[in-house]
Amino acid sequence: MKYPAITFSTELPVRSGRLTPVAAALIAAFLSPIVFAVESAEINTPPQTNHPQSAEFDNIFLNTEHGGSGIDLSRFSKGGSVLPGSYRADIYLNNTLIGNENVEFKARDDKSVHACLYSSVIASLNLKTEALPPESLTPLKKENGCVDLASFIPDAQVTFDNGEQRLDIAIPQALLLRTARGTVNPALWDSGVTSGMLGYSLNGYSSSSNGQTFNSAFAGINTGLNLGAWYFRHNGSYNWQENGDSKYTSINSYVQRDIPAAQGRVLLGESNTTGQLFDTVPFTGAQFSTDDRMLPESLRGYAPEVRGIARTNALVTVRQSGQVLYETTVSPGEFIIDDLYPTGYGGNLDVTVREADGSTQNFQVPFAAVAQLLRPGSQRYSLTVGKVRNDSLSFTPDLYQGTYQRGLNNSITGYTGAQASEDYYAVQVGAAVSTPIGAVAFDVTQANTHLRETTESGQSYQVSYSKVITETNSNLSVAAHRFRLRAIWIFPRRCKPLMPNVRVMTLTVFIGRKTA
């Protein structure tokens, strides 16, 4: 912006080169409409860029003996009157105080001044490095010296209020690490005190009919011991029958330890596989698997990410079926909302972005869910090694099983798994997709077993579909399974020959009314 130079007649009365009160009053009266017009124009200007527009000043108005000649005002032409040097300032990130640091101000080649931030300030910004351009990472990682933040981060703005000694840094929300709602720092987790527990149930039965009596009793036990970060658990039952067998059965006995850094747990002893992709199998051995209970509730289950771009400081509201699910304020630039609570079968999300100037933008995010869908970047895994526990078997086959699921993006989740034992293996590959017309998951399992005289194989196909029908406030779920077998290959039973080319198909349809 270039202000017009204003020249006044030299016939105004002056004394010793200084304006008389009458002359000053005339100048003020003449300038006031111009100043008001300039201020009004600035109110309606668009947001400033990282490099303010230049302005020109006429030094004839400086109250000096020589009329301001010889004084260099060019350093003030870029708006910002701060002089190069070091200043102690309160630092605000998106209007939130994050610290009080020494900030170095340096001059650019065009004589404007910029804040040069040291690594201690950069570290406190919690930048999402994977979202930054590669060329921005090298200067931001400098341990010595300082950097001009606005020159390396897209849409970032840095402004300084000299009067308040306040440095404001505005960075798009999508470029910052965020903490999901309900998150508790793992460093604050407590394993609890050393303690023991005991739960039990007792039941007795007696009957007499036609001179015959029958008596039985049942006792169930659930016990545990917490010792530091280790947890011991045992579940068992005792069955007694008069004139019959009496037996104590150990349902599971294991010791477990949480691994917060891996969002998982280690288990040793008798337990069951997770059952996420394959049928649940009792085993004795070791298991390492994720535990969703370590996540905050806002990251459990599936919900899509909401992405958009705000032109100004804006209010973002997310609604589903007219109900407000989430509301937050964001800085100018790209924003991401990735901690929506799951809402069952889904239903499209209506997003409203209200800008600071009162304008709004509206868009919709498709939301349909099946059990296999995960949030973008989320993952589940399990690894099991041990022996199969099955009293109906005359032997104890080995068990090796691994599964992995990952949310690839807002719409697609991929998953795979493998299961193996003596003379048997099965491999599964599948994907779940969320679309505007519903969510669908499809997977195929190939199994092979080696019999005494031959090798048999079979395939299993599974597809599921889910859709929320907003017009009737109901949901539709369909699941279909198709088996093509040449042997009974469902683990962990010993395989036996079966009729060749057996095909089995099941179809399940569920229609229910959605509740709020």
pLDDT tens-digit map of 11-21: 444 444 444 55
User: 161-170, 300-309, 468-477: lowest mean pLDDT where?
Assistant: 468-477
In a domain? residue 429 = yes
Q: Are 390 and 357 in contact (CB under 8 A)?
A: no
Task: Pick the last residue of a domain from 163, 179, 195.
Answer: 179
Q: Are residues 358 and 402 in the same domain?
A: no
What are 177's two structure tokens?
């690490």
In a domain? residue 291 = no
Q: Are residues 175 and 84 in the same domain?
A: yes
Task: Pick the last residue of a domain from 297, 330, 365.
Answer: 365
Q: Are residues 373 and 444 in the same domain?
A: yes
Cα–Cα distances (Å) from 482 to 43, 201, 494, in that order, read 68, 41, 22
User: How much is the pLDDT for 362?
Assistant: 94
In a domain? residue 137 = yes
Q: Are residues 361 and 439 in the same domain?
A: no
Q: Are residues 376 and 491 in the same domain?
A: yes
Exposure of 88 by Cβ count < 10 A (0-12 exposed, 13-18 middle, 19+ buried)?
exposed
Task: Give the pLDDT confidence of 100-118 residue by residue, as tens digits.
Answer: 888 888 887 777 788 888 8
User: How much is the pLDDT for 301?
Assistant: 87
Task: Give the pLDDT confidence of 22-51 residue by residue, as tens digits.
Answer: 444 444 444 444 433 333 333 333 444 444
Evaluate if residue 147 carries a pLDDT over 50.
yes
The CATH number of residue 335's host domain is 2.60.40.3110
Q: Are residues 389 and 492 in the same domain?
A: yes
Mean pLDDT for the chain?
Answer: 79
User: How much is the pLDDT for 403?
Assistant: 96
Cα–Cα distances (Å) from 138 to 108, 126, 155, in that order, read 20, 16, 18
Q: Are residues 104 and 151 in the same domain?
A: yes
pTM comes to 0.69
In a domain? residue 408 = yes
Task: Pick the last residue of a domain from 345, 365, 385.
Answer: 365
For the chain, give percent helix, strand, coil, nearest 5. 10, 50, 35
Q: If you average pLDDT over each of 76-90, 124-138, 210-224, which comes out highest?
A: 210-224
User: How much is the pLDDT for 108?
Assistant: 77
Cα 294–Cα 435–Cα 324 angle in degrees, nearest 5: 60
| Count of domains observed in the chain | 3
User: 198-202, 264-268, 297-301, 466-470: lowest mean pLDDT where?
Assistant: 466-470
The CATH number of residue 173's host domain is 3.10.20.410
Cα 501–Cα 503–Cα 509 angle in degrees, nearest 5: 170
Q: Are residues 311 and 398 in the same domain?
A: no
Instruction: Name the nearest CA neighbour of 465 among 455, 482, 478, 448.
Output: 478
Task: Give the pLDDT confidence of 379-437 residue by residue, as tens digits.
Answer: 999 999 999 888 777 778 899 999 999 999 988 999 999 999 888 889 999 999 998 88
Cβ density class 246-263: b for 16+ within 10 Å, e for less: eeeeebbebebebeeeeb
Q: Are residues 311 and 341 in the same domain?
A: yes
Question: Containing domain of residue 319, as a range?
Answer: 305-365
User: How much is the pLDDT for 202?
Assistant: 95
Cα–Cα distances (Å) from 177 to 90, 128, 130, 308, 467, in that order, read 21, 5, 10, 17, 33
In a domain? residue 15 = no
Q: Are residues 406 and 460 in the same domain?
A: yes
Task: Give the pLDDT confidence of 169-211 residue by residue, as tens digits.
Answer: 988 888 888 778 888 878 778 888 999 999 999 999 998 888 7
Type of residue numbered 242: E
Q: Are residues 482 and 383 in the same domain?
A: yes
In a domain? residue 279 = no
In a domain? residue 4 = no
Task: Give the pLDDT confidence of 350-367 residue by residue, as tens digits.
Answer: 999 999 999 999 999 988
Please, which residues have CB within 8 angstroms of residue 161's CB and are 6 or more apart in sequence?
A: 167, 168
Q: Are residues 374 and 507 in the same domain?
A: yes
In a domain? residue 169 = yes
